[in-house]
Chain A
Amino acid sequence: MNANGITAAVGEPRPRVEGRLKVTGSAAYVADVPMPDLAHGWMVTATVSRGRIRDIDATDALAMPGVLGVLDHRNARRLNPDAAHHFGPDRGLPMLQDDAVPYAGRPIALVVARTPEQARAAASALRVTYDAEPHDTEFSMNHPAARPASTLFGPEADTGDLEAELAVSTVVVDEVYRTPEENHSAMEPHVATAWWEDGHLYALDSNQGPFSISQVMAMLFFIDRDRVHIRAEHVGGGFGAKTICGAQIILAAMAAEHFRRPVRVALTRRQVFLAIGSRPPTEQRVRIGAGADGRLRAVHHHAAFALSPLAEYIEWCTEQARTLYAAPAIRTELSAVPLDRLPPCTMRGPGATPGSFAFESAVDEVAERLRIDPLRLRLLNQPAASPVSGRPWSTRRLITCLEEGARRFGWAQRDPRPRLRREGNLLVGTGVAAAAFVAGVFPASATIAAETDGTFSVRVGASDIGTGARTALIAVAADALGVSTERIRLHIGDSDLGPNPGAGGSRGTTSCAFAVTEAAKALREKLDDPARPVTVTVDTTPLINWRPAEERNTYSAVFAEVTVDPATGEVRVRRLLGMFAVGRVINPLLARSQLIGGMIGGLSMALHEESVRDPITGRLVTADFAGYHISAHADVPNVEADFVADYEPQDPSGFNGLGEIGNAGVAAAIANAVWHATGTRHRTLPISLGRVVETAAPRDRQEAISAV
C-alpha cells in the first residue's frame, strides 16, 4: 500500500480471471448448461407489420414426432399488462396475450418439443393466417406522428437567443444527418432455460442484469421478486440488447409452467434480428452559427428517432450539443416517431453515438466553411463550465485528449484542404471528432464475508458480458480490503445477490465498485473481533448524491485516417486513434480492450451497418450476417486507444465507466476523414460503397476508371 492508501491491484494490467475457461471452451454460457428432462421451444414470429392473427392451425404440427404442444394467445397464461422497466410500462412485454400484431417479427407462438429439430420442423408446419392492416414503418423526422420525446433524462436545453445569434453569425451550417436502424449483434444469440419449483421461477438467461430482469419477470408473472431466481454467469456480449427482458426468457418461463418441465428457448440469429430491439433510425437537423473568429454563437440540435407505440424509449442524441462546446445560445430538441416497427432498445453509446455523428460532422462543416483547422476550432470553443446548466465539471480532460491525440497522430503536418493527398488511385484523408458521455452510478448492493479460512467472499449482482467486470471487481475488493487478489472469492451474475443495475449505461462496474468499496469499509471496522465468518451488506442507495454540484462525464478525442477508392467507392480505415479521459482506470489491459472494441463498433457503424426494411411489407430484409455486415478482421486496422491521467472526484475511488465512450465520436471522425479525402460530405450512414460512388465527383470517377 502506498502513502495514498492505494494498493497494487487497481491500476495494474491483469489478464481476465476467467481467461483460461474462455480459451479452453469450458466457460459455461446459458446454452452450455445441461438440464435433465429439458424440452425445447421454437419461437414463431409474425410476418405482417400490422394486423390481427386470424388463425393458427396447429393440426399438422401437433401430430409430428416429439411435439409436446403449441402455446399461443388462445392457451397461454395471462401476464401482467402493466409490467414495466426503466423507461416505464412496456406493452411489448406480455407476449401471446391477444391476436394483435404490432410489428413484423413479433413472437406469436412457441412450439415445444423434445428436441430442437422436432420443434423447428413442427414450427414450420404451423399454418398462420392474418387479417393484415395497412402499416406505417417509414421513418422521417417530418412524419405527422412525430411528438416530443420523453424527458425522463431531464429537460432539453434552451439557453440564449438562438435566432438572434444565428442572424449575427458569419457562417451558419444547417444540415440534416441520418443514421439507420442498427443491430447489436452480440455473438451469443439470446437464450434462456427456465423451470418452476414450488411457485419459484428459476432461469438461466443470457442477459446484462439478472436482478433487473428478475424484477420485470416478477411483475409479468404476478409473483414476488424473491421467487424469481435468474442467473447469467458467462454472457456472450450484450451491447444493450440484453438489458431488456427478452422474448426468450418470457416464453421459456410460460412454457415451463404450461408443460411442467424445464424449457429452453434459443433464438436463432434471424430471430434476434427480428424480435430483439435494435438501435432506432435517427434523422437529425443541426444548425450551428459561428463568428469569423471561430467562436460558436448558436447551436441547435434537433434529433428524431423511431419507436413503437408499445413502449416509451429515449435515443438521447442531443447530449453532445449541450456538453462539448461553449456558445451563447444552445437549443436541443428530441422527437419520437411511433411506427409499426420493432420496439427499439439501447445500443452501445445510446444517443451519444448517432448524436455525435451528426453534431461532430456539423462542427467539422463549420471549420470547413470558416477555413479553420477543425482541431483548432474545437479547442477554441472549450467551455469553462457547462454551457447549459452553468455547473462546473467534476473533471474534464478533453483538451488534453485532443492535444495529446493530435501529437501522437501527427495532426500538425495535416494540410486542411480536401482532396489533396493521393497515393496511386487512392484518395487519403484524416479527420477528428470529440465526444462526451454522461457518467455516474446507480444503486447497487454488495455483501462481503470474512471467512474462517482467511478468504473474503464478495457477492454482488454484477454481470460480466465481456466488460471485464469480474476481474475489475476482484481488484477493487482486494484494494478496499487491503489484501491480495488471491484471497477474494467473487460471486456475480445472480439475481439472488441483491439489488444491482446490471451492465448498462456505462455504470455497471462503477456502481458495483462503489458498493464493494463501501461494504469493505464497513467490514474492516468489524475485523478486530476475531469471530469468523463475519458478514456485512451495504446498499449504496442512500449514499448516492443525485444532485451533485458538478457535471460528470467521460470524454474522448478520436483521430482517423482513411483511404477512398473513387472507382469502387471503398473506404478503408487505415489508422484509428482514441484518447480517453475516463477517470482512474481499474485495469488498463481490459479497459483498453473495451475502448478498442467500442471504436471498432464505431468503425463498423460508419462504414458497414444498416438494417434495411422493405417499405412494402415493413419487414426486415437484412436479418442475418450476410445482409447485415459488421466489421470483420480484414476491415479493422491496428486500432490504438490510450488514457490521459484522470481522477473522478465524485467517486470514492476516482472511477468512471467506459462502456460506451469508445463508440461515440468514431463515426464522425471517419466521416470527417472521408470528406478530407474526397471533398464530399457524407451525412447519411453508413458510408457504403454505393453512396461514395454516387457522390464521387465526376472527375474522380473519370480519372479512376481511366487508370484501371
Chain B
Amino acid sequence: MEDFFEKLSMFTNFIWPLLLLAGAYLVGSIIEKKHFQSIRKREDGLHGIPVVSFDTMPEDWRVSSSDMVTGSIVISLDYFKRVIAGLRGLIGGRIKTYEPLLERARREALLRMTESAREQGYDAIFNVRLETSRLANAGRDGKGTAGVEMLAFGTAVKLASRIG
C-alpha cells in the first residue's frame, strides 16, 4: 500500500509529464511533416506567379486591374515545443523548435495569398509584406502564448500584356 502511494506520486510527478511531452512530440511532428508536404506540393502548383516585395510596380508591367490580396494563418505551439523553448529561455540561443513553426506560418500565409490572387484571376503580386502578431493566452494573465498569426498581403494585378 505504501508502494501504491509511491507509485502514484511517481506517476504524477514524472511519468505523466513525460507521457504528455512524448505525445505532444509525436502528434506535433506528424502534423508538422504533413504540413510541410502540403506546402511544398501547393508551392509547386503555384509555380510561375510572380510574388515580389517591390513597393512600386515594375515599369514594364501593363496592368488592367488590381486589388489587395491577403493570406493569413493562425498557428499554435505544441506542448513539446513550448517546454523546450521554456528550457531554452533559461540559457538563451536559437529556439530551434520554433523555427519550423514560423517557417510553416510564413510559407502558408504566402501560399494562401497567392492562391487567392490566382482564384480571382490575377497574374502577379507586388509590394508583398508579412506581419506577425502573438495571440495571448486568456489564462495566466495573458502571459502565455496561444499561437501566432502570420499575415501576408500585397497588391495583386492583372497584366494586360506581360513583358519579360
Say whether A and B bind each other.
Answer: no
Q: Report A's interface with B, CB cutoff 8 A.
A: none
Q: Report B's interface with A, CB cutoff 8 A.
A: none
